[in-house]
Copies of this chain bind each other. A is one copy, B any other.
């Protein structure tokens, strides 16, 4: 049964140095506030897993929390590069970053295998590309019935998954809707899970398109209104597109980045919409 605790308690209880951590949310419902708490708690040597590392992991990487990144598309959506990610890969700043890269279909199936308790999943993918030679966990596999060659990808089993949802009830059952991404698979694949929510309600009345994760699947729930910003929570708040653009300048410069993290993460000075510090 999920316990409802503060975000600081939830992260302290579940995210430890050296863990493999998956923070998911596909454009929608990205758990940014939980990411900031990981930075505040100065976690180190994390293996970060995420299909689209995005601004959330640019921040964790720049803050020195990660030693490895497992991903399938590392950009600032609609804007350009992730400068902290590139600085870590290209210059080892602030610490060297090992990478393991896949395609979206491959990553989605790696989570799926983890969720299903299987050591691998199969797909039609990667064939003919230069990816298998450069990444772990991809292998050919032969169909025992047709002889056809397909691709096997190794399961991802994070130590901990962190997601953001619209709401939970007082028992810790979690409900989210809109673009639901790969969060269910990430939670099911992980050993333990933390969910931040916009609000706790008495009853989760059914919603079209909603996924409900039962309380017994989750370790801790924490209330973090607006905790997806600059991502969004459908029917609660909108995507702060201007912030994504502003991040380009903030993250280009190591000092500007460090100042931003100090102010808005460590000192928790709220960000105005659009990210102007």
State the A residues within 8 Å of B (CB).
116-124, 137, 139-141, 143-146, 148, 150, 152, 154, 206-210
Contacts and interface: CB of A to CB of B under 8 A. Distances in A.
A33 to B, nearest CB: 28
Contacts of A116: 123
Determine the main DSSP class of A at the interface with B: loop
Given A207-B208, A208-B206, A210-B208, A119 B139 contact: no
Identical copies in the complex: 2
A144 B139 contact: yes
A119 B137 contact: no
A137 B146 CA distance: 11
Closest 8 CB pairs of A and B: A206-B208, A139-B144, A119-B143, A119-B146, A145-B154, A144-B152, A120-B143, A208-B208
Contacts of A121: 122
A148 B152 CA distance: 14
A120 B145 contact: yes
Nearest to A140: B144
Contacts of A207: 208
Given A120-B122, A122-B122, A206-B209, 4 more contacts: A118-B122, A118-B123, A137-B145, A143-B152
Nearest to A150: B118
Nearest to A209: B206
Contacts of A210: 208
Contacts of A144: 120, 139-141, 152
A146 B157 CA distance: 14
Contacts of A118: 122-124, 150
